[in-house]
Amino acid sequence: MIRFILNDRAVQTDLPSGSTVLDFVRYHKRLTGTKIGCREGDCGACTVLVGDLENGKLVYRSMTSCLMPLGNAAGKHIVSVEGVNMEKLSPVQQAMVDTNGTQCGFCTIGFVMSLTGFVLNENAKQYEQAIAAIDGNICRCTGYKSIERAAAILSDKMTDKPQADTIDWLAANGYIPAYFTTIKAKLEALNASAPIADTGTAGSKLLVGGGTDLVVQKALAVKQSAIQHVYDTNELNRIYLEEGRCHVGGAVTVTAFAESALIQELFPRLPEYIRLVSSTPIRNMATMAGNIVNASPIGDMSIFFLALNSDLILNRNGERRTIKLRDLYKGYKQLDRSPDEIVEQIVFMVPKGADFNFEKVCKRTYLDIASVNSACLVKISNDVIEEIHLAAGGVAPYPRYLAETCAFLKGKMISANRLREAIAIMNSEIAPISDARGTADYKKRLLRQLFLAHFGSRKEIIKQVLSH
Amino acid sequence: MNNDPAKKRSSISPLGAEGGNIDAANHVTGRSIYVDDIPVMEGLLYVKVFDSPVAHGKIRKIDVTEAEQLDGIVKIFSHKDIPGENQIGGIIPDEPFLADDIVDFRGQPILLIAAEHEDAAEEAIKKIRVEIDPLPVITDPREAFKQGKLLSASRKFVKGDVNEAFKNCTYIFEGSAETGGQEQLYLETQGAYAYPAEHNSVKIFSSTQGPTAVQRTVARVLGVQMNQVEVDVPRLGGGFGGKEDQASAWATMAAMVAYLLKRPAKCIPHRMEDMRMTGKRNPYTTDYKIGLDSKQNILAYQAVFYQNGGAAADLSPAILERTLFHATNSYAIPHVHVTAHSCKTNLPPNTAFRGFGGPQGMFVIEAAIDHAAKELGIEPLQIQRQNMLKNGDEFPYGQIVTECQATHCWDEALDQFNIESVRKEIDYFNLENTFYKKGFSLMPVCFGISFTNTMMNQARALVHVYSDGSVGVSTGAVEMGQGVNTKMLQVAAHAFGISASRIKLESTNTSRVANTSPSAASSTADLNGKALQDACNQVKERLFDFIKKELTDNEDEIIEIKDEVVYINDEASVFNWENLIRQAFMKRINLSAKGHYATPIINFDKSIEKGHPFAYHVYGTALTVVTVDCLRGTYTIDSVKAMHDFGSSMNRVVDLGQCEGGIVQGIGWMTMEEVIYNTEGKLLSNALSTYKIPDIYSVPKELEVRFLPTDGNSYAILKSKAVGEPPLMYGIGAYFAIRNAVLAFNPSAKIPYSAPITPEKVLMSLYQNDQ
């Protein structure tokens, strides 16, 4: 039995916990405002808002309901467009009407939900934040300009939004129905009465985090499997420092990682990197461990952590072992991990005095999968490379740590010649293939460019390397 | 939670050109109803397709024994179960509904699975065994042409004598150009829901741009008369041409299951099935030859177009024709010889996509001009401006240019968008930056309005005035986001002089309006709007006759209805709309009418390829500026500014939306949208994860559309020119602007005229010299 709140009503269901929130909302509750565009989290037409208690606070995040396992809804508030409709149009809906931000209407509900998510975020007031909120919504009709105008109208209205009691203010001003003010208490009550979902124990069950990869790859299998949900497991959701090492829980979402004050301090340019990783609703669901064990050759977070020379702590029913992340990958989708081992933590040394950079190029800069991505941690003193860790995706059957290139560069004086030699070594470490994301030749060339981009402040050296 | 959109509607000025879309309030609340939202009947069956896993082959054996035994499987149908004809070809009968012994493309439907649940159908598909002996696969149109594989007769438009003219040219440049496919990517996939009705009939709710095409196809496959098939179209979650012809197959699947099993049936493919099984914009590869005199006048233009049609004709022959109609875009060229071949390949039959072959033709002439300009060391805009169409010129298809706005748009664009300072800023930027370069381009557009098949330029509308004064309007127009319902509402409100809140736009239904042309060719509002005016005017005439009989014996009175009040000789009478209707009804006046419209003046003689095929043309010019990141090979579109000829826009909000959306779609086609098939005919860009359309961050930072004041055209509805397709072609400018920015970094790069210009092509061109 899975129990949660759907719009203004408490609901419970015996449906498989691996079936999707989308199918539950559309076909079991016949709330047809939520649309099906792609069933792979790439269009946003099925976006719903998910309200959850985070440190005692009710926080709403947008998620693509097509990838959200029903089990992950347990104990939460799921909001579809029907749940924000009121007697009058909300200012979000009105802005979309006034700017003609809707043409065929099919994607519109997703935009309305994402923008309502922006409005519900107590810290969101800027136009850029409104646009970021809809970075996972695809529209084929408008060319987005009218939607940008709607976002501008809305962000202007957010100036007066208080940071405390935001939901009360929003309800009083007609942004959301009044029932929202009762949700926090209801969720507290719901979560106090266990169990809200049978998440089972480890064993032969399928481990499911945010669902953003598994449900895309094999929706039917997930629906038909016994599942152990780890998305909401508290001990897997922590980020902390200990003895100079940073510990990131396996179920930490990309969003939680990006919002962590601790991580932001370590990586000043973090927002730039994270913006390149999928989209807001997917980042709200996707977990670190999921990105790592999915072993996609172009996993953004895998590349990120490889360049931090990270360790993994694997846990199998309390039996723990630590391995280097780079030793996890053995071949295409082959891992040094048994299916019932949970990625408990990713652990890396806090980079001190080193520069970190993440690069990613795809056909579409945002909301796309990389042709090639690369991250690099490099410590240079007096033009000598003291330490370097370099990783690249899209150039091998799995996320690649470029060990030989690193070994070559370590201790060398940085110069165009050294970088040229490093590139030659790097080319011998990779074996890109031609596919929909680019030809092998292109990927090889692109990696050279991204490698050079890691040394972006040394323009003259880059020029010399390229003018050769 | 009562939010009556009709209330909202009354706040929209019925006649104002600033009024928004009448569907907007329903859209933002999720209350608009698409095919999959219609409440279904008890006993619904789900229909799934088993499609060909190979691109070409002979079916040796199909084994469904295991699949049929699965729980929830009701029946599996093959071509042998088809009650009528196994044929869905629209223009040419060359496409089986379900494959018989040969499969011609990967994704071709072979079997239909009718199941109690969708999951069961998916399980069944995995259990179906088929053995196919492979046959040679062709994906390249030039190869198909070499082997003589053509879908239809080749076409040729000739004006003057190019051979003679080339002899007089100072400069001649030859080359080739190619444009890729484009997935329509309507956010709502294809789909239909059908149920059996009395008298061996079937009713279908279809997501189609062509209700009559669906009706005709279903009747043919079921072996029944057209009157036994009722097609209803509530609205579309986008079409863009992809649902003009190719909606028919999905509707036929649902209809056949409903008809044979006497149960309601729904057939809605998942996104990946839709992408795999349906056709896209036709890719083209073309050889061109352009000749100029010493003063850069284009004297002669020759081109041979090889269209990749896919495995069946579909709409490709008509698309081919429009490529020729727009082969010279906005330019007056005295000697033209353009040929086009529709080549048969083993890909899903390619089909309509906004622009319908026009963009493919225009890209090539722009490439030829760019080629000439680069060789001559001048800017393309010199050649473009100098050869622009003007009144009295003759198009290669014989129509004489009238009411020309080409130079008007061009000159206003250059002036208002300040081309001189744009150029200076770009030069300065490029001097200052090593790893970032900017480029710009100018893209003129001249697009003909009318179906090029003259017969299709007809429409009908049905108007009922109910006894309470409310009005129901049915036309053949399908609302798919283009705002045609809003325009129809405006037309009716304008004709009757009443508030728009009284008027309701009905679904598009073949039992109410028959023999419709598809909503396509940018002509939907013109054709259906004019038919609607006719219907409204008929009712109005009867009402005026009635008024004259009731109030006056003078036949010469001038009667009109303004703001719902009847005026006689400019004086308000006792009649307002409501009591007028009530009394007219009591006196047994016919308050319903069927209107009809057939575009006058147009004609085209295919035997000589000459005539007057278009009611009028739409003109415009766009300036595009881009920045290329020369380290990473990526780019951003800084701005697109268009000077567009809307005529006298009847709804600036809707028209602006069409323009902005079209431009971004065109940019997508030219930049990131890359349809990739491998040599085995397998679609590699087969999902939204591998086929990318513009997102909110990739659109031009600045997109400005200016409404050029023009008189419009009397063949345009309320003089408001058609707007659906023309703006898409401004997107072609993005290709040339990016190309120019790459050349600013690497002046010696040899960049083929090949679109889309993906980040891969950009990077490889930037560093071409390394190889």
User: What residues of chain A, 445 to 464, have a C-beta less than 8 Å from chain B?
Assistant: 445-446, 449-450, 452-453, 459, 462-463
**Contact (CB, 8 A) for B762 and B634:** yes
User: DSSP string covering B588-629, please?
Assistant: T---EEEEEEE-SS-EEETTTTEEE--SEEEEEEEEEEEEEE
Domain A234-467 has CATH 3.30.420.40: no
Are B425 and B509 in a shared domain? no
Which range of residues forms the domain containing residue B721? 400-456+612-771
Q: Does A143 touch chain B (CB under 8 A)?
A: yes
**H or E stretch at B206:** strand B201-206
Chain B residue numbers touching A453 (CB-CB < 8 A):
631-632
Which residue from B577, B124, B617, B222 is spatially nearest to B391, judged by alpha carbons?
B617
Nearest to B141 by CA among B316, B371, B315: B316
Say whether B687 and A40 touch across the interface (CB within 8 A).
yes
Confidence of residue B7 (pLDDT cuts 50, 70, 90): very low
pLDDT reported for residue B365: 98
Are residues B616 and B713 located together in one domain of the fold? yes
Confidence check: pLDDT of A223 > 80? yes
Residue B100 domain-assigned? no
Which H/E stretch holds residue A254? helix A254-259
Where residue A198 falls among pLDDT bands split at 50, 70, 90?
low
Banded model confidence at residue A467, pLDDT cuts 50, 70, 90: confident
Please indicate whether residue B557 or residue B331 has the higher confidence score (pLDDT): B331
Tell me: pLDDT of B2 over 60.
no
pLDDT confidence of residue B19: 72
The CATH architecture assigned to A2-84+179-229 reads: Roll (3.10)
pLDDT digits (tens, 9 = 90+) for B295-305: 999 999 999 99
- In the predicted structure, residue A194 carries a pLDDT above the cut 70: no
Within a domain: residue B356? no
Residue of A nearest to B9 (CA): A97
* Exposure string for B148-174, b = 16+ CB within 10 A, e = fewer: ebbbbeebebbbbebeebbeebeeebe
Per-residue pLDDT tens for B482-508? 999 999 999 999 999 999 999 999 999
Half-sphere exposure of B649 (CA within 13 A, CB side): 22
Cβ pair B661:A143 closer than 8 A: yes
Contact B565, B491 (CB under 8 A): no
The whole-chain average pLDDT of chain B stands at 96
Please tell me the least confidently modeled range out of A166-170, A408-412, B5-9, B279-283.
Answer: B5-9
SS3 for A174? coil
- CA–CA dist B193, B265 (Å, integer): 6
In a shared domain, residues B413 and B470: no
Q: Specify the pLDDT at position B11.
A: 35
Catalytic entry in B174, B506, B725, B760: B725
pLDDT of amino acid B17: 55
Flag if A32 and B758 touch (Cβ within 8 Å): no
Contact map slice: B 186-225 vs A, CB within 8 A: 186-189
Instruction: Kindly list the domain boundaries of chain A, sorted by start residue.
Output: 2-84+179-229, 91-176, 234-467
Q: How many CB atoms lie within 10 A of CB A468?
A: 9
Q: Give residue B712's pLDDT.
A: 87
Could you tell me which CATH class the domain A91-176 is placed in?
Answer: mainly alpha
Choice among A203-207, A342-346, B78-82, B246-250 with the minimum mean pLDDT: A203-207
Backbone Cα Rg of chain B: 27
CB under 8 Å to A460, separation ≥6 — which residues? none
B237 touches chain A (CB under 8 A): yes
Distances in Å between the Cα of B697 and the Cα atoms of A145, A299, A365, B662 are 11, 21, 8, 17
pLDDT band at B5 (very low <50, low <70, confident <90, very high): very low
Quick check: helix, strand or coil at residue A112?
Answer: helix
Please check the confidence at residue A134 and state whether its pLDDT lies above 70. yes
Q: A 5-24 residues with CB below 8 A of B? A: none
- B619 contacts chain A (CB < 8 A): no
Angle formed at CA B364 by CA B358 and CA B366, multiple of 5 degrees: 100
B409-459 confidence digits (pLDDT tens):
999 999 999 999 999 999 999 999 999 999 999 999 999 999 999 999 999
* Chain B nearest C-alpha distance from A360 (Å): 9
**Looking at residue B4, what is its pLDDT?**
41
CATH of the domain at B495: 3.30.365.10
Which residue type, as a one-letter code, is found at position B143?
Answer: E
Is B187's CB within 8 Å of A85's CB? no
Confidence class for position B734, pLDDT limits 50, 70, 90: very high
Interchain CB contact of A129 with B (< 8 Å): no
Domain assignment of residue B633, yes or no = yes
* B30, part of any domain: yes
- Of B77, B74, B90, residue with least CA distance to B49: B77
Bridge partners of B572, per DSSP, are B567
Q: Which pLDDT score is estimated for A127? A: 98
pLDDT at A405: 98
Q: What is the C-alpha to C-alpha distance for residues B23 and B37, in angstroms, rounded to an integer?
A: 16
Q: Are residues B446 and B575 located together in one domain of the fold?
A: no
Say whether residue A37 is in contact with chain B using an 8 A CB cutoff.
yes
In a domain, B255, yes or no: no
The model's pLDDT over B321-367, given as tens digits with 9 standing for 90+, comes to: 999 999 999 999 999 999 999 999 999 999 999 999 999 999 999 99
Three-state SS string over A297-350 comes to CCCHHHHHHHCCCCEEEEEECCEEEEEEHHHHEEECCEECCCCCCEEEEEEEEC
| Cα Rg of chain A, angstroms | 23
In a domain, B181, yes or no: no
Same domain, B640 and B755: yes
Q: Give the span between the Cα atoms of B284 and B141, in whole angstroms.
A: 8
pLDDT(B20) > 90:
no
Q: What is the pLDDT of residue A195?
A: 60
Q: Count of residues for chain B?
A: 771
Residues B550, B692 within the same domain:
no
C-alpha A165/C-alpha A152 separation (Å) is 24
Evaluate whether residue B605 is within a structural domain.
no
Cis peptide before B759 (omega within 30 of 0): no
**Residue A380 is encoded by which pair of tokens?**
């240079």
- 3-state SS assignment for residue A437: coil
Kindly state the average pLDDT of the residues B589-616: 98
Residues forming a β-bridge with B603: B612
Chain A / chain B CB contacts < 8 angstroms: 244
Q: Per the structure, how many domains does chain B have?
A: 3
pLDDT for residue B408 is more than 50: yes
Q: pTM of the entire structure?
A: 0.97
DSSP B351: B
H-type helices in B433-560, by residue range? Answer: 484-496, 524-551
Closest to B144 in 3D by CA, of B348, B350, B308: B308
Q: Over the range B560-591, which residues count as b (16 or more CB within 10 Å of their CB) and which as e? A: ebeebbbbbeeeebebbbeebbebbbeeebeb
Q: How confident is the model at residue A197 (pLDDT cuts 50, 70, 90)?
A: low
User: φ and ψ at B588, to 5 degrees?
Assistant: 60, 40
pLDDT tens-digit readout, B36-93: 999 999 999 999 999 999 999 999 999 999 999 999 999 999 999 999 999 999 999 9
Percent of chain B with pLDDT over 70: 97
Mean pLDDT in residue range B506-511: 98
Average pLDDT on A352-381 reads 96
Strand, helix or coil at B432?
Answer: helix
- State mean pLDDT over A293-299: 95
> Which residues in chain A (365-424) have CB-CB distances under 8 A to chain B?
365-369, 371
Whether B447 and B573 share a structural domain? no
Given pLDDT bands bounded at 50, 70 and 90, which one contains residue A203? low
Q: Which residues of A touch B631 (CB under 8 A)?
A: 449, 452-453, 462
Same domain? B621 vs B768: yes
CA-based end-to-end distance of chain B? 66
CB contact residues (below 8 A), chain A span 194-233, against chain B: 216, 220, 223
Could you give the CA distance from residue B349 to residue B242 in angstroms, rounded to a whole number? 11
Residue-wise pLDDT for A35-45, tens only, equals 999 999 999 99
Q: Are residues B450 and B562 in the same domain?
A: no
Residues B637-663, mean pLDDT to the nearest whole number: 97
| A214 half-sphere exposure, CB direction, 13 A CA radius | 26
Residues B444 and B469 in one domain: no
A20 to each of A66, A212, B117, how far by Cα in Å?
Answer: 6, 11, 16
Banded model confidence at residue A468, pLDDT cuts 50, 70, 90: low
Q: Give the percent of chain B with pLDDT over 90.
A: 95
Contact predicate A130/A154, CB 8 Å = yes
pLDDT of residue B3: 40
Whether residues B639 and B537 share a domain: the answer is: no
Residues 6+ positions from B396 with CB-CB distance below 8 Å: B157, B158, B159, B324, B327, B328, B333, B336, B338
Whether residue B725 lies in the annotated active site: yes
The DSSP result for B703-734, as a single string, is EEEEE------TTSGGGB---SSGGGGGGHHH
pLDDT band at B709 (very low <50, low <70, confident <90, very high): confident
